[in-house]
């Protein structure tokens, strides 16, 4: 019975959008400075922010005295919540595959990310291929199904990758293939990666022309059989038509420039450069192309192409006019992106707001969703995180997380529910152990 009530409540809770007031907090809005005041949330949106607000009657009040509120953290590079492998590593152009098909809303990493203040994440295909799979943006709506996790209205993307990762699959003696008899796959060099991307877009252009031709014929009333729909080229055609963002994994300055030139040649844009550890060397060129840069805080030297990495990368690119975000690329790091942002203050002297923007507003801009999320402003989605301390601090703990005005994480509730969950588990283990001797008689005929 109790279970039923809880299940019922869980089912109902996200349905009825409550009116919530977060009172007496230090609010880091990102776009409008840091204020001491309150936030009113109505119908999943931020209705009012200010030192003094009109508190609607019957609103649920969250007292956040001595606490901090920031916009939900956005991770521009994550691989969580994916079933059955993040790489379609068989071919170096795998644009036919789509992360959307394999979202696993039950991945515990979602809940852990939520507990680290992340409300939105760009879920990417892996970096094994020159052109990887189709990607999408999720909100960490823990407890919902795959469809309901999707950030509706966010433009889908595609993953590219340059350098060591896509080329090592071409070398049977190196990388993941070592020790196992794998057939080498083209490409095996950086030159080959460029060629692979060029070839794919040459093919995509021909494909687009074929469809354009068919559509023109059909418009003229001529009888024609439509071309074969090719999922691989369909996604690249969308890139050419500007309907799909390119998120490109890269490290070295030379390969970054290569990709920007290829994109210019074929007439498409690189939306974000991911990792981009040598971005500081070519920041002007990146800014000129209009690409965003999503990098690590201070990771370096973990592979050859990362030896020239410097922790000032984010700050330097920012100063050269690039929109910079800090990403996790990792389920664990994803849980403390707030302290990653803090590092940008130490290395490069970013302000509090600039640093916080690197995990909120800037990734929102890079994903084209800054009209919806990324800052605490009236009209934006009520994706809010309450911390007990100054958030850009290792010791700050997330207290509550709201997405679309619904509470998806509450530290007190989480901690207090643990003994009950553990007891329930031990009960089941005992039950199954008791049942065991009986089932042991049932030795089947397989053996």
Partner 1 sequence: MKKLAIVLLSICACLLAETPSTVAIRNAKIVTVSGPVIAKGTVVVRNGLIEAAGENVTIPADAWVVEGEGLTVYPGLIDALSTVGIPGAAPAAAVAGGRGGRGQTATPTPTAVAAAPRAMGPEDRPQTTSWEVAADLISPADRRIETVRGGGITTAVTFPTRGIFAGQGSVIDLISGEKAGEMIVASPVGQYISFAGGRGFGGGFPTSLMGVISYVRQIYLDIDHYKLVKDAYAKDPRGMQRPEYDRALEGVMASPRILLPANRLVEIDRALHLAAELKQPTIIYGGREAYREGAADLLKKANVPMLISLRWAEFPRDADPDNEPSMRTLENIDQGPAAAVALKKAGVKFAFYSDGVDNPRDLQRAVKKAIDAGLSREDAIRAMTLTPAEIYGIDNRVGSVEKGKIANLIVTKGDLFDDRTQIEMVFVDGKQYKPATPAGGGRGPSTDEPGGNQ
Binding site for partner 1 (CB under 8 A): 7, 82-91, 94, 96-99, 101-106, 108, 125, 128, 133, 145-147, 169, 176-177, 180, 182-183, 185, 225-232, 421, 424-425, 428-429, 431-433, 435-436, 439-440, 442, 444-447
Using the minimum distance from each CB to partner 1, give the nearer residue, 301 or 434. Answer: 434
What's the min distance (Å) between Cβ of 28 and partner 1? 35
What's the min distance (Å) between Cβ of 131 and partner 1? 13
Using the minimum distance from each CB to partner 1, give the nearer residue, 153 or 226. Answer: 226
Using the minimum distance from each CB to partner 1, give the nearer residue, 261 or 421. Answer: 421
CA angle 315–318–320, rounded 5-degree value: 115
Instruction: Name the strands in the sheet holding 73-78, side by side, starting at the edge strand that comes first in the sequence.
Output: 73-78, 118-123, 131-139, 157-161, 245-250, 272-275, 292-295, 324-326
- Kindly state the helix (H) or strand (E) to which residue 255 belongs, with its residue range: helix 253-266
At 52, phi and psi to the nearest 5? Answer: -125, 130
Using the minimum distance from each CB to partner 1, give the nearer residue, 25 or 149. Answer: 149
Using the minimum distance from each CB to partner 1, give the nearer residue, 183 or 301. Answer: 183
Using the minimum distance from each CB to partner 1, give the nearer residue, 5 or 395. Answer: 5
CA angle 330–271–385, rounded 5-degree value: 50
- Kindly state the helix (H) or strand (E) to which residue 63 belongs, with its residue range: strand 60-63
What's the min distance (Å) between Cβ of 79 and partner 1? 12
What's the min distance (Å) between Cβ of 256 and partner 1? 26
CA angle 337–100–133, rounded 5-degree value: 85
What's the min distance (Å) between Cβ of 178 and partner 1? 11
What's the min distance (Å) between Cβ of 155 and partner 1? 19
b or e along 31-63 (b: 16 or more beta carbons within 10 Å of the residue's beta carbon)? eeebeebbbbbbebbbbbbeeebeeeeebeebe
Task: Give how far the C-alpha of residue 297 lies from the chain's centroid of Cα atoms, to the nearest Å.
Answer: 16
**Residues facing 403 on adjacent strands:** 406
Using the minimum distance from each CB to partner 1, give the nearer residue, 53 or 146. Answer: 146
Using the minimum distance from each CB to partner 1, give the nearer residue, 186 or 300. Answer: 186
What's the min distance (Å) between Cβ of 90 and partner 1? 4
Using the minimum distance from each CB to partner 1, give the nearer residue, 81 or 286. Answer: 81
Are 23 and 64 within 8 A, CB to CB? yes
What's the min distance (Å) between Cβ of 106 and partner 1? 6
Q: How many other CB atoms are found less than 10 A from the CB of residue 65?
A: 9
**Unique residue bearing structure tokens 């403390």:** 336
**Sequence-distant (≥ 6) Cβ neighbours of residue 52 within 8 angstroms:** 37, 38
> What is the C-alpha to C-alpha distance for residues 121 and 72, in angstroms, rounded to an integer?
10
What's the min distance (Å) between Cβ of 346 and partner 1? 35
Are 258 and 194 within 8 A, CB to CB? yes
């Amino acid at each position: 019975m109790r279970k039923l009530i809880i299940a019922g409540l869980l089912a109902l809770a996200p349905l009825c959008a409550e009116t919530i007031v977060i009172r007496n907090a230090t609010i880091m809005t990102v776009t409008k400075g840091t204020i001491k005041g309150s936030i009113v949330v109505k119908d999943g949106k931020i209705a009012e922010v200010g030192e003094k607000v009109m508190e609607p009657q019957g609103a649920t009040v969250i007292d956040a005295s001595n606490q901090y509120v920031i916009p939900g953290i956005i991770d521009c590079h994550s691989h969580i919540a994916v079933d059955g492998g993040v790489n379609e590593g068989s071919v170096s152009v795998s644009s036919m595959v789509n992360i959307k098909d394999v979202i696993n809303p039950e991945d515990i990493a979602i809940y852990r990310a939520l507990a680290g203040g992340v409300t939105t994440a760009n879920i990417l295909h892996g970096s094994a291929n020159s052109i990887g799979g189709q990607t999408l943006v999720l909100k960490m709506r823990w407890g919902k199904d795959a469809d309901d996790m999707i950030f509706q209205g966010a433009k889908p993307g595609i993953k590219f990758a340059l350098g060591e990762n896509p080329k090592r699959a071409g070398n049977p003696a190196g990388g993941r293939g070592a020790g196992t008899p794998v057939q080498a796959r083209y490409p095996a060099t950086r030159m080959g990666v460029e060629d692979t991307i060029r070839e794919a877009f040459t093919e995509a252009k021909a494909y687009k022309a074929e469809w354009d031709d068919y559509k023109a014929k059909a418009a003229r009333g001529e009888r024609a059989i439509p071309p074969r729909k090719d999922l691989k080229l369909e996604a690249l055609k969308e890139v050419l038509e500007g309907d799909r963002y390119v998120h490109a994994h890269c490290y070295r300055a030379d390969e970054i420039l290569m990709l920007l030139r290829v994109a210019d040649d074929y007439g498409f844009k690189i939306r974000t450069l991911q990792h981009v550890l040598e971005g500081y060397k070519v920041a002007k060129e990146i800014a000129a192309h209009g690409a965003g840069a999503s990098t690590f805080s201070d990771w370096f030297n973990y592979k050859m192409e990362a030896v020239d990495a410097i922790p000032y990368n984010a700050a330097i690119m920012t100063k050269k006019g690039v929109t910079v975000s800090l990403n996790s690329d990792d389920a664990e790091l994803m849980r403390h992106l707030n302290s990653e942002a803090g590092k940008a203050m130490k290395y490069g002297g970013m302000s509090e707001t600039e640093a916080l923007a690197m995990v909120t507003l800037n990734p929102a801009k890079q994903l084209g969703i800054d009209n919806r999320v990324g800052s605490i402003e009236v009209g934006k989605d009520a994706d809010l995180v309450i911390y007990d301390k100054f958030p850009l601090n290792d010791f700050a703990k997330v207290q509550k997380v709201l997405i679309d005005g619904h509470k998806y994480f509450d530290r007190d509730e989480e901690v207090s529910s643990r003994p009950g969950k553990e007891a329930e588990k031990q009960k089941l283990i005992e039950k199954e152990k008791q049942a065991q001797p009986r089932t042991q008689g049932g030795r089947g005929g397989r053996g």
